[in-house]
Amino acid sequence: MRQPRPRPASRTALHAELRQRVIALELAPGEVLSENQLAADLGVSRTPIRECLIMLRQEGFVEVVPQVGTFVSRVDPRRVADAQFIREAVETSGLQQAGDDLDAQVIAGLADNVARQRGTESDIAAFVALDEEFHRGLLALSGHESAWEAIASERAHLDRARRLGLAEVTPAAYIAEHAAILDALVGGERERAIELLRGHVRAVFADIEQVRARMPELFAPTD
């Protein structure tokens, strides 16, 4: 049973809380959503829960089946592919535009981040937080750190798929890829860093295909 959390302070916070539960797979793909249960869990009335579920439906995270019920949307590989395309374009362009004299403070922060990642092999939540910090840091090298938040809605569907993928590939593999990207940057091998980054963000496809082979019920049909 999920442990109750502190009551969200506002409608915006309530929406963010429910959205994060979906992305973090605390509310699993295909899971039935009960307004009564969610309201009791979060210490609010059904009305704000209903409004937040409408918002999540508009974002593609909730599905309503008439006469049946409300469910967490299953992972849609097409939306994941679109999100990955956007993320790859933004991140690789960011590295391409980074100046030749890389900001030493940002590089130091990235190195520290990778070092801290190496202590999270068994803590998925901690790794995911540091992973986001690392990629935001790469964008900071070109002065486009705010782009990370600008693509947040697209990233959300990709992030949910990546969480599933982490059940197949331990964080250690991703940590090694982060380290290789950083080493290439520091060594002045920008194009190699970009290629490594491109392969890194595309790896989600292989990971989720392994999950889909075992648990197809978590995914929306692509026909």
* CA count, 13 A, side-chain hemisphere, 8: 21
Q: What is the mean pLDDT of residues 158-175?
A: 85
pLDDT digits (tens, 9 = 90+) for 82-110: 999 999 999 999 999 998 899 999 999 99
- Burial (CB < 10 A; 0-12, 13-18, 19+), residue 214, is exposed
Among 40-44, 46-50, 102-106, 166-170, whose mean pLDDT is lowest? 166-170
Give pLDDT, residue 6.
54
> Following DSSP, what letter does each residue of the chain receive, concatenated?
-PPP-PPPSSHHHHHHHHHHHHHTTSS-TT-B--HHHHHHHHTS-HHHHHHHHHHHHHTTSEEEETTTEEEEPPB-HHHHHHHHHHHHHHHHHHHHHS-SS--HHHHHHHHHHHHHHTT-TT-HHHHHHHHHHHHHHHHHTTT-TTHHHHTHHHHHHHHHHHHHHTTTS-HHHHHHHHHHHHHHHHTT-HHHHHHHHHHHHHHHHHHHHHHHHH-GGGB----
> 1 pLDDT band (50/70/90 cuts)?
very low
Give pLDDT, residue 37.
94
pLDDT digits (tens, 9 = 90+) for 25-38: 999 999 999 999 99
Q: How far apart are the C-alpha atoms of 108 and 113, rounded to whole Å? A: 9
Structural contact between residues 206 and 81, judged by C-beta atoms closer than 8 angstroms: no
pLDDT digits (tens, 9 = 90+) for 2-21: 555 555 558 889 999 999 99
